[in-house]
């Protein structure tokens, strides 16, 4: 089992470190999405009130959801339409991909924070809530695993 985890960690590190492969990785995430847009081009509404996306998706690298986020009330729009696709942030210090379906975070969430020792987080959202296995890697090595069921941490 340890060998499998080591091999898996190595594969993740290689995928996230090679620039040509790194460009291909999000394509697999986006395969079932209708479009891919800069995350900050999205509009956010809680019920009917529009709020700045930078106050909902927060943190030094915009990798966390704030208390303003509600799985049932927060909706993401492109123009006036509910957004389905992948919102991304990509620069010299990070690569972030967040998947949306009908205005709700739904699908893979992938973060790689380059400036912070290559910290990588990946997991899945379902209907706006963390769901399933979430893994964190630091310098290509598995750092932690969490299991969520409908937004509730189980381990």
CB neighbour burial string for 13-36, b if at least 16 within 10 angstroms, e if fewer: bebbeeeeeeeebbeebbeebeee
Q: What is the pTM of this model?
A: 0.76
94 half-sphere exposure, CB direction, 13 A CA radius: 17
Q: What is the pLDDT of residues 28-85, one digit of tens each?
A: 333 344 699 999 999 999 988 999 999 999 987 788 899 999 999 999 999 999 999 9
From the CB of residue 37, how many other CB atoms can be counted at a distance below 10 Å? Answer: 15
CA distance linking residue 131 with residue 106, whole number of Å = 10
* Segments forming the whole domain that contains residue 94: 2-153
Q: What is the pLDDT of residues 2-26, one digit of tens each?
A: 444 343 443 344 344 433 333 333 3
Do the Cβ atoms of 100 and 110 come closer than 8 Å? no
Q: How many separate domains does the chain show?
A: 1
Burial of 114 (0-12, 13-18, 19+ CB in 10 A): middle
């Amino acid at each position: 089992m340890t060998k499998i985890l080591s091999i898996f960690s190595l594969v993740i590190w290689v995928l996230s470190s090679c620039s040509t492969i790194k460009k291909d990785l999000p394509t697999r995430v986006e395969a079932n999405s209708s479009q891919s847009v800069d995350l900050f081009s999205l509009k956010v509404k809680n019920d009917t009130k529009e709020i700045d996306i930078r106050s909902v998706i927060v943190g030094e690298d915009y990798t966390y959801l704030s208390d303003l986020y509600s799985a049932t009330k927060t909706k993401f729009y492109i123009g006036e339409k509910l957004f389905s696709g992948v919102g991304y942030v990509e620069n010299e210090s990070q690569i972030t991909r967040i998947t949306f379906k009908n205005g709700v975070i739904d699908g893979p969430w992938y973060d790689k924070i380059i400036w912070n020792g290559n910290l990588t987080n990946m997991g899945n959202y379902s209907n706006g809530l963390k769901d399933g296995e979430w893994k964190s890697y630091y310098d290509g090595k598995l750092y932690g695993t969490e299991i969520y069921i409908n937004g509730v941490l189980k381990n």
